[in-house]
Amino acid sequence: MCGIVGILGSQPVAHDLIDALRRLEYRGYDSAGIATVENGHLERRRAEGKLRNLEQRIGEDPLKGKTGIGHTRWATHGKPTETNAHPHMSEKVSVVHNGIIENFRSLREELTAKGHVFDSDTDTEAVVHLITEELSRADDPIEAVSEALQKLEGAFALGIVFAGHDDLMIAARRGSPLAIGHGDDAMYLGSDAIALAPFTNKITYLEEGDMAVLTRKGAEIFDAEGEKVERPAVISQASSLLVDKGNHRHFMAKEIHEQPEVISHTLSHYIDMAEGRVDYPDLGLDLSDLSRITISACGTAYYAGLVGKYWIEKYARVPVEIDVASELRYREAPLPKDGLALFISQSGETADTLAVLRYCKEQGQRIASIVNVRTSTIARESDVILPTLAGPEIGVASTKAFTCQLAALAGLTLLIGRARGTISPELEQELVQGLLEVPRHMAEVMADEAQYEKLAHDLSKARDVLYLGRGINYPLALEGALKLKEISYIHAEGYAAGELKHGPIALIDENVPVIVVAPSDDLHDKTVSNVQEVAARGGKIILISNGDEDSAGCELMAHIRVPDAHPFTNPLLYAVPIQLIAYHTAVQMGTDVDQPRNLAKSVTVE
């Protein structure tokens, strides 16, 4: 969480720092701030809330320094106030930080006893005073930071500038990602390459434990042991044009509507169109002999994994263990010898998912990951990357990344099924054909958006909403509820339809809309029985199905019709209506759709 940037430039850098921070707002937007070195002094501007507040503040009271750092915050320690906003600073040093300093309390006590006065409630301020203390011993910034780093516990990425040093910035990475950008007589620092895309595409990724000393001429990098090391510079594909909503009111709307295109891209990456069969990178395992697959992820990516479990178990007949990463990381789960561990992450930086990946690696598992950001830490620490080609996803609510994850999982299912002989060449061709029709079907689902606006008008009056689904539609019910609550703030829960009578049915009355994901598959009739149980208790049913309106056998509040498709591809298709329901309800409620409260796009803390 939190985004950090730094620039050593030849002109005042405040404007470019803001530009870079805008690309990092997905990492948090509780507050933002910038500090620059001006005539040897440190100057800063900070503002609570979104970046535009900081922009306004700087417009009124400009910063002129040509060396500066910036930060956009997702609060961990201390309320999202201006006082707690980064950069934090003393007279000598200014710091931006992403991550958590775990021993900040003891450092704070120690430094307070030595006369340091803390202004904020943050863990970051301990770093400022620690470096300041070290500087008072030896007036050498590199030595002071090296000493300070040894006293810090936790996960962090830091950007540091110093009073009296116009041509110096120090960066350090332990646990949180950090990239260095190389310009012409200018150097850059950012939480990711996207932040730096307008300035340079020549990027060096810092590795775990690295400290980098930047001047306008370049960077010297030292590893965790203090040894000078060379890290390669790579040419990043990150686009500087990503902050563009096109004709849409929100990024989320744009990203929902991009799905037919990005699903095509993702499928074409894995499907040999001429042969009508999947074509995956070598996973380095004998897939015909897999005893179990372990999948782990968080949030929406976890629900994609849950769909993957239903697919892989049904079509490839391999048992799949799946758990949310925040649980699996501490369960000390026994893993099969030479097993396959699969991680799913849009950002590729989610702290819990990364921790499980490292655990599985220690346990001798082969690591494959489905990621959207190919340069991310999860991607770089995996044996095999299965990329999703969703393009940058800016809306905090995941939409196109989810369906692209499903597309990659669908292909993987066919690959494993083929290797194990559970999917014949004819069936593979049939399922591939079904997948290739998904983009067209998705476009059809989006054609009548007015029905979602109408439905949103009614849903926005509800206090609670239930989502139901059976079998492979159950993860869709969970995802539908997550999407609705995260952007509309309406309380929503997803249930396996068969579980309803074991408790949740007590919630049903005429004020609780129940959204049912019920394609005409082999479990459809059982789901319809559950729908009737709800209707009998006065519940208002919204049916999402490819059947007729009267197939539910009761009166409906609304019926969203989805085109007939191969049942294998239903999860991809039914994802779209649940996204549009959440989107239009949030718009109706007037919430901040792209940046909902308390959330961040990339969750790099535990």
Examine residue 25 and tell whether it contacts ligand M6R (CB under 6 A).
no
Residue 300, SS3 per DSSP: helix
Query: 284-320 as b/e, with b when 16 or more CB fall inside 10 Å?
Result: ebebeebeebbbbbbbbbbbbbbbbbbbbeebbebeb
Q: How far is the CB of 300 from ligand M6R (least distance, A)?
A: 3
Among 124, 132, 176, 300, binds ligand M6R (CB under 6 A): 300
Q: Which stretch binds ligand M6R (CB under 6 A): 209-217, 390-398, 434-442, 543-551?
A: 390-398
Pick from 398, 570, 585, 588 the residue near ligand M6R by CB under 6 A.
398
Q: Is 228 a catalytic residue?
A: no
**Please, what is the minimum distance in Å from the beta carbon of residue 283 to ligand M6R?**
21
> Could you tell me the smallest distance in angstroms from the CB atom of residue 400 to ligand M6R?
11
Euclidean distance between CA atoms 224 and 231, whole angstroms: 13
Environment class of 525 (CB within 10 Å of its CB; exposed 0-12, middle 13-18, buried 19+): exposed
The DSSP code sequence of 525-586 is HHHHHHHHHHHHTTPEEEEEESS-GGGGSS--SEEEE-----GGGHHHHHHHHHHHHHHHHH
Q: Which residues in 318-347 contact ligand M6R (CB under 6 A)?
A: 345-347
The 347-366 site mask, x for binding ligand M6R (CB under 6 A), equals x--x--x-------------
Q: Which C-beta is closer to ligand M6R: that of 189 or that of 586? A: 586
Give the range of 120-128, 228-236, 296-304, 428-436 binding ligand M6R by CB under 6 A.
296-304
Q: Does 98 bind ligand M6R (CB under 6 A)?
A: no
Q: Is 397 in the site for ligand M6R (CB under 6 A)?
A: yes
Give the integer Cα–Cα distance in Å for 519 and 516: 9
Give min distance, CB of 602 to ligand M6R, in A.
6
Would you say 45 and 97 are in contact if contact means Cβ atoms under 8 Å apart? no
How many residues touch ligand M6R (CB under 6 A)?
17
67-73 and 41-48: which strand pairing?
unpaired
Kind plus residue range of the DSSP H or E element containing 212: strand 211-215
Instruction: Enumerate residues 478-517 that contact ligand M6R by CB under 6 A.
Output: 482, 486
Binding of ligand M6R at residue 543 (CB under 6 A)? no
Q: Which residue is catalytic, options 66, 92, 540, 601?
A: 601
Judged by beta carbon, residue 144 or residue 575, the one nearer ligand M6R is 575
Rounded distance, CA 459 to CA 511, Å?
Answer: 10
Q: What is the CA radius of gyration of the chain?
A: 25
For ligand M6R, the binding residues in 453-482 under the rule CB under 6 A are: 482
Among 47, 144, 195, 301, binds ligand M6R (CB under 6 A): 301
Which residues between 581 and 600 bind ligand M6R (CB under 6 A)? 599
Between strands 293-297 and 320-324, the pairing is parallel
193: closest CA among 201, 347, 185? 201
Gap between the Cα atoms of 24 and 27, Å rounded: 6
Residue 298 touching ligand M6R (CB under 6 A): yes
Question: Among 392-400, 452-460, 505-513, 561-569, which window interacts with ligand M6R (CB under 6 A)?
Answer: 392-400
What's the N-to-C CA distance of the chain in angstroms? 10
Interaction residues for ligand M6R, span 185-204 (CB under 6 A)? none
* The binder of ligand M6R chosen from 299, 339, 411, 469 (CB under 6 A): 299
C-alpha span between 417 and 424 (Å, rounded):
8
Q: How far is the CB of 160 from ligand M6R (least distance, A)?
A: 27
CA distance 126 to 304: 40
Nearer to ligand M6R, 263 or 298 (CB): 298
Cβ proximity to ligand M6R: between 6 and 387 the closer is 387
Name the active-site residue from 2, 298, 360, 404.
2
Q: Does the annotation count 601 as an active-site position? A: yes
* C-alpha atoms less than 13 angstroms from C-alpha of 263 in its C-beta half-sphere: 30
Task: Name the residue with tokens 């005429």.
Answer: 510
Query: Which residues lie below 8 Å from residue 228, measured CB to CB, with a gap of 6+?
Result: 220, 221, 222
Query: Considering the complex, what minimum distance in angstroms separates the CB of residue 278 from ligand M6R?
Result: 23
Least separation in angstroms between residue 543's CB and ligand M6R is 24
CB of 298 to ligand M6R, least distance (A): 4
Residue number with the smallest Cβ distance to ligand M6R: 299
Query: Whose Cβ is closer to ligand M6R: residue 170's or residue 194's?
Result: 194
How many CB atoms are closer than 10 A to CB 425? 11
CB 45 within 8 A of CB 19: no
Given a contact cutoff of 8 angstroms between Cβ atoms, the answer to whether 121 and 78 are in contact is: yes
Judged by the rule CB under 6 A, the positions of this chain that interact with ligand M6R are 298-301, 345-347, 350, 353, 396-398, 482, 486, 599, 602-603
Q: Which residues are known catalytic residues?
A: 2, 601
